[in-house]
Structure 1
């Protein structure tokens, strides 16, 4: 499994209704996309309920296969993003763990993203073990739809991504609103740790 996200920061006075209408009209196009575990169509609104300092469109993906990810990136789906917003930096991480939460059957309304560096003096395996414990705890929390943990070993960054049925608690990371969830292969995402 691979995690992927691009974050498109928009002007402070940008009409986020444009993004809402975009997702409403196009979000369903990936509801059956081969190789896609899930795609959360995420936004943050400046001054909104999550306390965001920016307007941002920031879809987050969990891919079951690299072929699915490649089909999207080199196909018409991502080209639509490039045509409308320019070519964003695409962040990607190797998956370490995925867990369904108690609210797995509900439609998630919010998401959190928390990126943490692995301290230079800490053995990477120790940092990952600690993070695995955190993702298991998160996944057992009432209101959690799903929790994922991934790593970028180039930057030694751990990424916690959590989908919530309702409002995420304060301190859980950057808060996003989920406009739509495409989850054609969510049921086949490998659970537990990924090695």
Structure 2
């Protein structure tokens, strides 16, 4: 599993309806994408859930490097570049994945914040001297803990070994529970190969 995200930060007065319309018309194009475990079409709106910015920030879990590469070097990502400029693509090595208590809930689009699924992303710097094997075990347990909560669709944890950053990511079938991290609205969820994502720890 490979986690990936890019963030497109938009002006404070930007009409986020433009992004909602974009996802409503194009989101389904990834619903059968080979090699894609799950893509959550995420937005943050300035002043909502503590967000300081308007932002479009899709989050991907890839099953295969071929799938990820075909997206990055193909028309999908080129459309982002053409419309918004080329964003920095962040990526993390997968540590663990867990299906959630609400994983049987079908994917759906949402045109308003009230009907959208939600997601939480929490980043954590890994201090020098941290025992990496012990940390990986802790992260895997955290994915399982998040997934057991009511309303959880799935949870994943990963590490960027270049910057030594750990990432917790979870998707919920309701408003995100209170907790540390950035809260996003999920406008659409494409999950063509979510069932093929390896369960549990990935080492």
TM-score (norm 1): 0.97
Q: Give the whole-Å Cα distance in 1 for the aligned partners of 2:139 and 2:190.
A: 26
SS at match of 1:154: coil
Q: Distance in 2 between matches of 1:172 and 1:100?
A: 21
Matches within 5 A, 1:62-101: 62-101=61-100
Where in structure 2 are the equivalents of 1:117-128 lying within 5 Å? 117-128=125-136
Task: Report deviation, 1:27.
Answer: 0.3
Q: Could you report, residue by residue, the CA deviation over 1:110-139 in whole angstroms, capped at 9, with x for unpaired residues?
A: 001001111112111122222222111111
The answer to whether the Cα contact below 8 Å between 2:96 and 2:139 also exists between their aligned partners in 1 is no
5+ unaligned residues in a row in structure 2: which ranges? 108-115
SS at match of 2:83: helix
In structure 2, the residue corresponding to 1:94 is in which secondary structure?
Answer: strand
Structure 1's unaligned 5+ residue stretches are: none
Q: CA deviation at 1:90?
A: 0.1
C-alpha distance in structure 1 between counterparts of 2:143 and 2:183, whole Å: 17
Aligned Cα root-mean-square deviation (Å)? 1.0
Q: Using the alignment, how far apart are the partners of 2:83 and 2:99 within structure 1?
A: 34
Counterparts of 1:153 and 1:160 in 2: how far apart (Å)?
A: 15
Once the two structures are TM-superposed, the CA of residue 147 in structure 1 deviates from its matched residue by 0.2
- Cα deviation for residue 181 of structure 1 reads 0.4
Separation in 2, partners of 1:64, 1:130? 23
Q: How many residues in Structure 1 have an aligned counterpart in Structure 2?
A: 194
Aligned mates of 1:186, 1:132 — CA distance in 2: 18
After superposition, where does 1:159-178 map in structure 2 within 5 Å?
159-178=167-186
Paired with 1:117 and 1:38, the residues of 2 have a C-alpha distance of 25
Q: Distance in 1 between matches of 2:10 and 2:29?
A: 23
Displacement, 1:172? 3.7
Aligned with 1:162: secondary structure?
strand
Q: Distance in 2 between matches of 1:172 and 1:178?
A: 18
- 2:54 counterpart residue number: 55
The 4+ residue runs of structure 1 with deviation greater than 3 A are none
